Structure 1
Amino acid sequence: MNPLLVCVVIFAVVAVLTWAVTARRGSSAWLDRLWSILPIVYAWVFAGAAGLGDARLNLLAVLATAWGVRLTFNYARKGGFRRGAEDYRWGTVRQKLTPAQWVVFHALFISVYQQALLLLLILPAWTAYEHRTPLGVLDWILAAIFMLLLVGEGTADGQQWRFQQRKHAAATAGKPLTEGFISTGLFRYSRHPNLFCEILMWWVFYAIGAAAVGPLLSWTIIGTVLLTAQSFGSTVMAESLSGAKYPAYAAYRARTSRLVPWPPRA
Structure 2
Amino acid sequence: MGPLVVCLVICAAVTAATWIASLVTREYSWVDRIWSVVPVAYVWVFAVSGGFDARLVLMAVLVTLWGIRLTVNFARKGGYRPGGEDYRWAVLRGRMAPWQFQLFNLLFISIYQNALILLFCLPALTVYAAGPTPLGAWDVVLAIVFLAFLAGETVADHQQWVFHRWKAAERAAGRVPRPGFLQTGLFRVSRHPNFFFEQAQWWVFYGFAVAATGVWLHWTIAGALLLTLLFIGSTAFTESISRSRYPDYDAYRARTSAIVPWFPRSHATAGERTA
TM-score clears 0.5: yes
SS at match of 2:55: helix
- CA distance, structure 2, for counterparts of residue 214 and residue 51 of structure 1: 21
Aligned to 2:47: 47
Aligned to 1:152: 152
Aligned to 1:199: 199
Aligned to 2:115: 116
- Alignment of structure 1 residues 170-189 onto 2, 5 Å: 170-189=170-189
Confirm whether residue 82 of structure 1 aligns to residue 77 of structure 2.
no
Measured after TM superposition, the shift of residue 186 of structure 1 is 0.5
Measured after TM superposition, the shift of residue 117 of structure 1 is 0.4
Aligned to 2:2: 2
Cα displacement string for residues 7-37 of structure 1 (whole angstroms, at most 9, x for unaligned residues): 0000001111111111122111221110110
- CA distance, structure 1, for counterparts of residue 168 and residue 31 of structure 2: 27
TM superposition outliers: structure 1 runs of 4+ over 2 Å? none
Higher alpha-carbon deviation: 22-31 or 179-188 = 22-31
Measured after TM superposition, the shift of residue 224 of structure 1 is 0.4
- CA distance, structure 2, for counterparts of residue 135 and residue 90 of structure 1: 43
TM-score, length of structure 1 as denominator length = 0.97
Q: Is the 8 A contact 1:4 1:126 kept in 2?
A: yes
Cα displacement string for residues 70-112 of structure 1 (whole angstroms, at most 9, x for unaligned residues): 0001000000011121011122222211111112111111111
Confirm whether residue 63 of structure 1 aligns to residue 43 of structure 2.
no
Aligned to 1:103: 102
Confirm whether residue 231 of structure 1 aligns to residue 231 of structure 2.
yes
AA in 1 matched with 2:141: I
Measured after TM superposition, the shift of residue 4 of structure 1 is 0.3
AA in 1 matched with 2:7: C
- CA distance, structure 2, for counterparts of residue 213 and residue 57 of structure 1: 13
- CA distance, structure 2, for counterparts of residue 264 and residue 186 of structure 1: 11
- CA distance, structure 1, for counterparts of residue 175 and residue 21 of structure 2: 40
- CA distance, structure 1, for counterparts of residue 211 and residue 111 of structure 2: 29
Cα displacement string for residues 33-84 of structure 1 (whole angstroms, at most 9, x for unaligned residues): 10110000101111011232x0110011011111111000100000001112
Aligned to 2:246: 246
Measured after TM superposition, the shift of residue 142 of structure 1 is 0.9
Taking only the aligned residue pairs, the percentage that are identical comes to 53
Aligned to 2:13: 13
Confirm whether residue 162 of structure 1 aligns to residue 158 of structure 2.
no
Q: Is the 8 A contact 1:56 1:209 kept in 2?
A: no
- CA distance, structure 1, for counterparts of residue 210 and residue 99 of structure 2: 41
AA in 1 matched with 2:241: L
Confirm whether residue 259 of structure 1 aligns to residue 228 of structure 2.
no
Q: Which runs of 5+ in 1 are unaligned?
A: none
TM-score, length of structure 2 as denominator length = 0.94
- CA distance, structure 1, for counterparts of residue 263 and residue 172 of structure 2: 34
Measured after TM superposition, the shift of residue 211 of structure 1 is 2.1
- CA distance, structure 1, for counterparts of residue 137 and residue 48 of structure 2: 24
Measured after TM superposition, the shift of residue 215 of structure 1 is 1.3
Q: Which runs of 5+ in 2 are unaligned?
A: 267-275
AA in 1 matched with 2:11: F
SS at match of 1:179: coil
SS at match of 1:51: coil
- CA distance, structure 2, for counterparts of residue 34 and residue 191 of structure 1: 26
Higher alpha-carbon deviation: 192-201 or 210-219 = 210-219
Q: Between Structure 1 and Structure 2, how many residues are aligned?
A: 265
